[in-house]
A and B are shown apart, each in its own frame.
Chain A
Amino acid sequence: MQKEVVDSMAMKRALTRITYEIIEQNKGIRDIVLVGIKTRGVYVAQRIAARLQQLEGATIPVGELDITAFRDDHPQDIASAPSDYQLTFSVADKRVILVDDVLFTGRTIRAALDALMGGGRPQSIALAVLVDRGHRELPIRADFIGKNIPTARQERIKVSVTEVDGHDGVEIIN
Chain B
Amino acid sequence: MADRYLILEDGSAYLGEGFGSPAVSTGEIVFNTSMTGYQEIITNQIYHNQIIAFTQPTIGSYGINHDSYESILPTVKGVVVRDVASISTNRQRRWSLDQYLKQQNIPGISHIDTRHLAKQLRASGPMKASIVDVADAHAFDQLGATVLTNQQVAAVATPKPFPNPGTGLNVVVVDFGLKHGILRELSKRACNVTVLPYTATTEEIINLDPDGVILSTGPGKPQDLPDSVLTMIQNIQNRIPLFAIGLGHELFAMANGASIMKLSPEHHGANHPIREVITNQIIYASQGQGFAVDPATIDRNKLITTFVDLIDGTIQGLRFRDFPAFSVQFFPDGAPGPTEVRDIFDEFVESMQQARGPIW
Contacts and interface: CB of A to CB of B under 8 A. Distances in A.
B324 interface: yes
B358 A51 contact: no
Interface in A108-132: 132
A134 interface: yes
B319 interface: yes
Main secondary structure of the interface of A (DSSP, over half): helix
A28 B359 contact: no
Contact of B277 (A14, A23, A55): A55
Contacts of A88: none
B322 A17 contact: no
B90 interface: no
Nearest to B346: A13
Contacts of A148: 353, 358-360
A122 B277 CA distance: 30
Main secondary structure of the interface of B (DSSP, over half): loop
Interface string B335-360: 00000000100110011011000111
A13 B347 contact: yes
Given A24-B323, A51-B278, A54-B279, A13 B358 contact: no
B262 interface: no
Interface residues of B, number: 20
A166 interface: no
Interface string B285-317: 000000000000000000010000000000000
Given A134-B360, A145-B358, A150-B360, A14 B319 contact: no
B321 interface: yes
B277 A54 contact: yes
A27 interface: yes
A55 B303 CA distance: 11
B278 A16 contact: yes
Contacts of B351: 17
Nearest to B320: A24
Contact of A20 (B279, B324, B346): B324
A55 B350 contact: no
A13 B343 contact: yes
B149 interface: no
Interface of A: 9-10, 12-14, 16-17, 19-21, 23-24, 27-28, 51, 54-55, 132, 134, 145, 148, 150
Interface of B: 277-280, 304, 319, 321-324, 343, 346-347, 350-351, 353-354, 358-360
